[in-house]
Chain A
Amino acid sequence: MPTIAAAELGALTPAILVLALAVLVLLLDVFAKPATDRAYAAWLTAVGLVAAAVAGLLIGDAGTGGKPIFFGALAVDGTAVFTNTLILLSAAAIALISSPFVAAHATPRGEYYALLLLAVLGALLLAAATDLLAMFMALETMSIALYVLAGYQRTNDRSVEAALKYFITGAFSSAFLLYGIAFVYGAVGGTNYADVHAAVADAVKAAAQGSDPGAIGTRLLAAQPFLVFGMLLLLAGFFFKIAAVPFHMWAPDVYEGSPSPVTALMAATVKAASVVALVRTVVVPFVDLQTAYPGWGYPVFVVAAATMIVGNLGALMQDNIKRLLAYSSVAHAGYLLVGVLAVAEPAGRTLAGGVLFYLLVYTVLTIGTFAVIVLFGSERGENTSISRHYAGLGWRRPWLGLAMLVFMFGLTGMPPTAGFFAKFYVFAAAVKAGYVNLAIIGMLTSLVSAYYYLKVIVYLYFREPREASEGLESKTTTAVALACAALVLGLGVVGAVYGWADTAAGGLFALAGVR
C-alpha cells in the first residue's frame, strides 16, 4: 500500500498553516466578546499569511524535487513556490486593506478573514495541482469562499447582486470544467496530468503515422475526439475564471458590487492562481499536440486577441473606477493569454518566466490600486465615480495620489514601472514564438488603455474638486499602497526579480518531459 512520505507533508506546510489559521480566526471570533474590535483579526491574518509565505520560501519543495506528491495530486515545484509566495503575500496585503473597509461598510466579524483564508487555501492548492480532480477541488474551495465574500455587505443590494452573479457564472465555469474533466477522463482513463500527457503523446504519435503530414489534426480529431473536446471545455472553464472574452460578462457587475478588497482578491490573487492552473492543466499536458499540430492554439489566439480588444474598448467609457478596473482586468487577462500561448510554443518556452513575472506585477498593481480605492471611499459609500469623487483628490491626498499615478502608469505599461517590463517580457515571448501579430494587437490596445488610465490621472490632478469628502484614513492601508507603488517602481528595474520568475518557470514542463 502506498504511503505519504513526511517530506510530502512538509512541502505543504504553507497550505497547512493557512488552514490552521482559518480555524484559529473562526474560533477566536466565537469566543471573543461581541463588543471587541475585530481589527486584531486583520493583523492576525496578515501576520499569519506572511509567516506562511516565509515558511514556504524556506522549505521550498522540501526535498520532493518538484515531483508530483500525494499520489500525483500536487507538485510543489519552482512555479508553485513562486505562485504560492505571491498568493500568500498578496492575501496578507488584502487582509490589511480590508480592515478599514470592514470597519466602515460591513458588519465587522471574524468570518470575513476566515473566508479570505479559505479562499487563499484553495488558491494555493490550485496553483500546485497536477491532477484534474485535485485541481477541481482546489478551485471550488477557492470559489465558494469567494461567493460568500462577494456578498459580504448583506444590506447592500449591489453586493448581493454581485454575489449571485458570481455564483451563477462560477457554477457555469465549474460545469464546463467538470464536463471537460469527464471527457478527458473518458479518453485517457486517468485524471493525473502525467497520464493525460502520455495519452496525448500516444494519440499524436498514432495520428502522425500516415502519408499526409498535413492531415494530422484531422486524423487526431477523428481518433480522439473526446480528448480534444475535453481540452476545449477545460479551456472554456478557465476562460470564465480569468474573465477572458467571451466569458467576461460577469466581471464588471461583480467587480463593481463586491467589497473593494474582495474585488482586489478576485482580480489579483485568484487570477494568478487560475492562470498558473491553466498552464498546468491545459498547456503542459497537451504540449505534444502543439508540437505536432500548431493549429490547436487557434482558439486561444482568437480569445487572446478578442480579450485584449474588448477589455480595452469596454474600459474606455467607464466612469466607475471599479468597473473600469474590471474591464482593465479583462484586458490584462488578454495580455496574459498572449504569454500563455507563447509559452505553449517551443520557441517561447524559454521565456515562460514572463507570465509569472506579469502575474506578480499585475497583482502588485491591482492591490495597490484597490488600497487607494478603499481609502478614497467614505463612511457612507465607496465613492467610486472618477469624475465626481476623484476630481482634485491627487492634491488633497498627495501620497495616495502619487501612488495612484504610479499604478495608472504601471497598468498602462509605461517605463520605468514594472508594468512596462511585464509587458515587455510577455510580448517578447510572443514575438519569439512567432506571434508578432498578437504583439502588435497588444501594443495597439495598450495605447487605447493609456486613454482611460490617463483619465484617472486627469481627474486626480487636473480637475477642481467637486465633493467635500476626502476619504478614509488608515495608516496601514496607506502603507500598503505606498509599498505597492515602491514595488511597481522597483520590481522591473531590479533584474533579479525576473531572474527568480524565470528560474521558477523552468520546471513547468518537467512533467511533460520537455524543456
Chain B
Amino acid sequence: MHGDGSILLSLILWLPLAGALIVGLLPRDEAGMARGGALAVSALVFVLSLGLLAGFDGTDPRLQFVESIPWLPKLGIGYRLGIDGLSLWLVILTTFLTPIVVISAWTAVTERVREYMAAMLVLETGMIGSLVAVDVFLFYVFWEVMLVPMFLLIGYWGGQARVYAAVKFFLFTLVGSLLMLVAVLYVYFKYAALNGGAYSTNLADLATLAVGGKLSVNEQWWLFAAFALAFAIKVPMWPLHTWLPDAHTEAPTGGSVILAGVLLKLGTYGFVRFAIPLFPLGAAAFMPAIAVLAVIGIVYGAVVALVQDDVKRLVAYSSVSHLGFVMLGLAAMSPQGVSGAMLQMLNHGISTGALFLLIGVIYERRHTRRIADFGGLTKIAPAFAAVFLVTTLSSIGLPGLNGFVGEFLILLGTFLSPGLAGAKVLAVIAATGVILSAAYMLWMFQRVMFGPVTNPENEHMSDLNAREWGYLTPLLVLMVVMGLFPNLFLKPMDASVHLFLSNYRAAVSAERAALDAPAAVRPANVVR
C-alpha cells in the first residue's frame, strides 16, 4: 500500500502539539511571536499534508500511510494511523483552515494571544488525530481531546454568553461520547470472547464482527445507537442541535470557523468510518429514521435561519440545514449520495468557514452582528460585499460554485437510493431546503448590503485590507475550482466510497439471505 512505513501522518499529527508547547512557553508580552509561531507551524503542517495528497493512490480503496505501533499491548490497544479516500480531504481541510484561522485572529484576538494560539494548535492535533486514527481507542482519545481547547476558546475568547455556551458545548458532546465508550468496551470484549481472548481495538479487527452473525442484529442495534448518538450530537442532527447555535454564536471567529469547518464533519465522518462499518445491520435499521431526521433538520434549520436577527446565529442554523443534507446523502447509501455527502462536507467547510470569517471581519470593525445594525454596506465596502456575495452564493448552491455539486449529488443519490423507503418524497422535501437557503441567505444579504446606509456608525467602516484578502482569496479560489472541477475532489474518494458501500451491502444482503433461509437453520440470534 502507498506510503506505508512513512511517518508523514505522525509528523502532521504531532507538529501542532509541539508548536503549541513552544508557543505556550513564549514570554507573555510577545504576542507577535505567538502569532508568527502559530502561523509558521500551521503552515508547515499544511505543506506536509500536501505530501499526503501527492503520495495518495486514488485507485486503492484501502488505508494508506499506515503506521502501527503497539501502545498498550496487553490490552491490544495500538497507535494505528492511516488514511483512505474518506479521510484524505478532511485532513487537508483541517490543515488548510488552521493557518487561515491563525491569520484571521491577527488583530481580532488581542488578549492572551499566546494562549489562544496554543489552544488552536492543540485543537488541530485533536482534529487530525480523530481523522487519522484507525484504532477505536486512539480515536476516542483524540475525539475527547478536541473538547478541551474548544471549551477554552469559547469560554475565554467568546462573546457575551460565552461561559454558558462553552459549558453547554462541552456537556452535550460528552453525553454521546461516554455512551460510545461503553459500546466500544462491549465490542472489545465481544471480539476477545470470539477470538480466544485476544484483545484488539484495531478498527479492521473489530469490523470483522459485523458479518456472519457474530454480533446479533439486536446487539448491533444497540451498539449503533450508542455510536450514532455520539456522532449525531456532533453533526448535529435535529433534535440534538441545540448546543450549536449557542456555541457558534458565542465562539470567537476562529472557533466558529473550526467548529463549522471541521468539528461538525467529525460527526458525519464518525458515521462513515466507525458506526456504519462496525454495525451495518444496526445502521440498516436506523437509516430510515436518520433520513427522516436529516430532512427535518434541513427544513427546520432553514426555517429558523429565516427569522434570525443575528448574522452569526443565522449561519449557525444554516449549518444545521446543510449538515442535514450530508446525513441524508449518507442515509441514502447510494454511490451518488455518499460521494455527495463526502463532497458536501468539504463544501460546507469552505463556504461556512468563509462566512464566519467574513462575519468576523465586520464584527472586528463594528462589534455587532445584528442584521438591523447594517444596511447599504455595498457602498461603504464594495470589495467586502463582493466577496460576501460569492460566499453567499456558494453556500446557497449556485451552479458553478462548490455548494451546487454536493447538494445535487445528494438529492440525486437520495432519489435513486436502493434501500431507503420513501426516498423520492424525502428528496423532494429536502429540495425545498435548497430554495429556503436561497431565501434566508439572500434576504440577509439584501438587508446587510443593499439599501441606504441607515446606521451612521457604518459610514467609516474600512474595506478589506491586504491580510483579509490574503486569507479569503484561497477560499474563494476553492469555491470556484470545486464548483467547476468537482472530479478533482471526487476521484480520490471514489474507490474508498465503493468499498464502504460494498461492505455495507454485503453485510445487509447476507443478513437478508439468512432471514430467507428455512426457519430450522436460522441462527437463533437473528430472530428477536
- The answer to whether B182 and A436 touch across the interface, beta carbons within 8 angstroms, is yes
Interface size class of A (residues with CB under 8 A): 20 to 34
Cβ–Cβ contact A414 & B156, under 8 A: no
Contact with A along B179-218 (1 / 0, CB 8 A): 1011001101100000000000000000000000000000
Would you call B461 an interface residue if the criterion is a C-beta within 8 Å of the partner chain's C-beta atoms? no
Any chain A CB within 8 A of the CB of B429?
no
Contact between A461 and B152 (Cβ–Cβ < 8 Å)?
A: yes
Residues 108 to 158 of chain B near chain A (Cβ within 8 Å): 112, 140-142, 144-145, 147-148, 151-152, 155-156
Give the docked Cα–Cα distance between A420 and B72 (Å).
Answer: 14
- Minimum Cβ distance to chain A for residue B167 (Å): 6
Does the CB pair A458–B171 fall under 8 Å?
no
Least CB distance from A235 to B in Å reads 27
| A502 close to B (CB within 8 Å) | yes
Q: Which of A418-464 contact B (CB under 8 A)?
A: 420, 424, 427-428, 431-432, 436, 439-440, 443-444, 446-447, 450-451, 454, 457-458, 461-463
What residues on B are CB-neighbors of A431 within 8 Å? 182, 185-186, 189
Taking A451-B167, A502-B74 as contacts, is the C-beta distance between A440 and B182 under 8 angstroms? yes
Q: Which of B75, B144, B163, B181 contacts A462 (CB 8 A)?
A: B163
Give B138's nearest chain A residue, CB to CB: A415
A321 to B: closest C-beta gap in Å:
18
Q: Is B170 interfacial (CB-CB < 8 Å)? A: yes
Asked whether any CB of chain B lies closer than 8 Å to the CB of A217, the reply is no
Chain B residues contacting A428 (CB-CB under 8 Å) are 75, 185, 188-189
The reply to whether the CB of A416 lies closer than 8 angstroms to some CB of chain B is yes
Question: Which residues of A are found within 8 Å of B170, using beta-carbon distances?
Answer: 450, 454
Known contacts A414-B147, A447-B171; A458/B185 CB under 8 A? no
> Do A446 and B74 have beta carbons less than 8 Å apart?
no
Q: Are B178 and A446 in contact (CB under 8 A)?
A: yes
**Distance in angstroms between the alpha carbons of A432 and B192 in the assembled complex:** 10
Contacts of B175 in A (CB 8 A): 447
Residues 151-177 of B contacting A (Cβ, < 8 Å): 151-152, 155-156, 162-163, 166-167, 170-171, 174-175
A409 interface residue (CB < 8 Å to B): yes
A65 within 8 A of B: no
Contacts of A444 in B (CB 8 A): 178
> How many angstroms between the C-alpha atoms of A436 and B142 in the bound complex?
24
Those of A330-347 within 8 Å (CB) of chain B = none
A414-B144, A415-B140, A415-B145 known; A458+B182 contact, CB < 8 A: no
CA distance A447 to B181 in the complex (A): 12
Interface membership of chain B positions 67-104, coded 1 if the CB is closer than 8 angstroms to chain A and 0 otherwise = 00001111100000000000000000000000000000
| Closest residue on chain A to residue B186 by CB atoms | A431
Contact B171 A450, beta carbon cutoff 8 Å: yes
A409 to B147, CA, bound (A): 11
**In the complex, which residue of chain A has the Cβ closest to the Cβ of B112?**
A395
Specify which chain A residues have a CB less than 8 angstroms from the CB of B147 in the assembled complex: 414
The one of A395, A416, A427, A495 in contact with B181, judged by C-beta atoms closer than 8 angstroms, is A427
Among A432, A443, A454, A457, point to the contact of B178 (Cβ < 8 A). Answer: A443
User: Which one of A436, A443, A463, A495 contacts B73 once the chains associate, using CB atoms below 8 Å?
Assistant: A495
- In angstroms, how far is the closest chain B Cβ from the Cβ of A267? 24
Q: Are B182 and A499 in contact (CB under 8 A)?
A: no
Q: Which residues of B contact A450 (CB under 8 A)?
A: 170-171, 174
Q: Which of A416, A447, A463 contacts B174 (CB 8 A)?
A: A447
CB contacts (< 8 Å) of A409 on chain B: these are 148
B171 near A451 with CB under 8 A, answer yes
Set of chain A residues within 8 Å of B155, measured between Cβ atoms: 457-458, 461-462
A358 in the interface (beta carbon within 8 A): no
Contact partner, A439, options B74, B75, B182, Cβ 8 Å: B182
Instruction: Please give, as numbers and ranges, the residues of chain A lying within 8 Å of B74 by CB-CB distance.
Output: 495, 498-499, 502
Among B73, B145, B179, contact of A440 (Cβ-Cβ < 8 Å): B179
Interface-centre pick from A443, A446, A461, A463 (highest chain B CB count, 10 A): A443
Chain B residues within 8 Å of A447, by CB: 171, 174-175, 178
* Interface pair A458/B148, CB less than 8 Å apart: no
Residues of B within 8 A of A502 (CB): 74
Q: Is the CB of A458 within 8 A of B167?
A: yes
Do B72 and A495 touch (CB < 8 A)?
yes
**Contacts A447-B175, A450-B170, A498-B72 given; does A458 touch B163 at CB 8 Å:** yes
Shortest distance from the beta carbon of B502 to any chain A beta carbon, whole Å: 32
**Contact present for A427 and B72 (CB under 8 Å):** no
Cβ of B145 to closest chain A Cβ, rounded Å: 6
Nearest A-chain residue to B72, judged by Cβ: A495
A350 to chain B, nearest CB (A): 9
Q: A414-B148, A462-B163, A495-B73 are in contact. Are A443 and B182 (CB under 8 A)?
A: yes
CB atoms of B185 and A427 under 8 A apart: yes
Measured in the bound complex, the distance between the Cα atoms of B156 and A360 in whole Å is: 33
Chain B residues closer than 8 Å to A415, beta-carbon distance: 140-142, 144-145
**Cα of A491 to Cα of B171 in the assembled complex, Å:** 25
Residues of B within 8 A of A454 (CB): 151, 167, 170-171
How far apart are the CA atoms of A424 and B199 in the complex, in Å? 15
Inside 8 A of B162's CB, which chain A residues have their CB?
A: 462
Query: Inside 8 A of B145's CB, which chain A residues have their CB?
Result: 414-416
**Which residues of A are at the interface with B, using a C-beta cutoff of 8 A?**
395, 409, 414-416, 420, 424, 427-428, 431-432, 436, 439-440, 443-444, 446-447, 450-451, 454, 457-458, 461-463, 495, 498-499, 502
Instruction: Rank and list the top 10 A-B pairs by shortest CB-CB distance, nearest first.
Output: A443-B178, A415-B141, A495-B72, A431-B185, A415-B144, A462-B155, A432-B189, A462-B163, A439-B182, A428-B185
Task: Please list 14 pairs of residues, one from A and one from B, whose beta carbons are closer than 8 Å in the complex, sorted by A's number.
Answer: A414-B144, A414-B147, A415-B140, A415-B145, A416-B141, A420-B141, A427-B182, A427-B185, A428-B189, A431-B182, A436-B186, A443-B178, A447-B178, A462-B155
